[in-house]
Amino acid sequence: MGYALRIYEAFKDDETKAKLLSEFIEQVEQVILNNQLSTRQDVTMSELKLTKEIEKTRGEIKEVELKLTKEIEQTRGEIKEVELKLTKEIEQTRGEIKEVELKLTKEIEQTRGEIKEVELKLTKEIEQVRADLTREIEQVRGEIKEVELKLTREIAQVRVEIQKSHGSLLRWIVGLFLTAVVAQAGLIIALLQYSSGR
């Protein structure tokens, strides 16, 4: 039972009042009903509008996602190209380093061979110089020996003559002997200096 009927039943003793009140209540109920209908339509319209906006937003998001996906793929492709380029450059650099290493190894081996040849040559020359010096020293020693023997004989002869002559002759012979010894020592020193210089 509606409110208008209830009001009418409550005030039916006064027919006019009951009728006015029930009509008023009916109008109020109609307005409320209209407002409810209007509110439902507004809600439906809002839902439709929001749905459209959501769909539009979803479409925009999808476009952004596609755009970002393309950009990501493009960036990945560029990174891949850079990686390939760097890999090639690294391989090329490694090859160049390997070539330089091989070249330096060959040069080092060649230099070692040359050093070895120089060492052998110098060793031979040193051995030759030593042999020459040894011969020269032996020759000088022989000459010194001969001079010593000669001087010894001369000294012995002089001694005999000294016994026959006076003391000044002895001093002359001793001076001669010392001069010969100094000359021999000078000759030996000169030969040693000459050998060291070679």
Q: Looking at residue 163, what is its pLDDT?
A: 65
Top pLDDT among 105 and 173 is at 105
d(CA 144, CA 132): 18
Q: Looking at residue 95, what is its pLDDT?
A: 92
Q: Looking at residue 49, what is its pLDDT?
A: 80
Domain that holds residue 98: 3-197
Q: Looking at residue 56, what is its pLDDT?
A: 82
Q: How distant, in Å, are the alpha carbons of 86, 104, 108, 114, 136 from that of 101?
A: 22, 5, 10, 20, 51
68-88: pLDDT as tens digits: 999 999 998 999 999 999 999
Tokens of 118: 């120089």
Q: Looking at residue 45, what is its pLDDT?
A: 75
Query: 12 in helix, strand or coil?
Result: coil
Give the chain's mean pLDDT.
79
Q: Which residues contact residue 195 at a Cβ distance below 8 angstroms, ignoring those fewer than 6 apart?
A: 129, 133, 136
Q: Looking at residue 130, what is its pLDDT?
A: 81
Domain count across the chain = 1
d(CA 127, CA 122): 8
Q: Looking at residue 162, what is its pLDDT?
A: 58
Top pLDDT among 162 and 49 is at 49
Tokens of 136: 């020269």
**Across 109-113, 158-162, 165-169, 190-194, which has the greatest mean pLDDT?**
109-113
Q: Looking at residue 42, what is its pLDDT?
A: 65
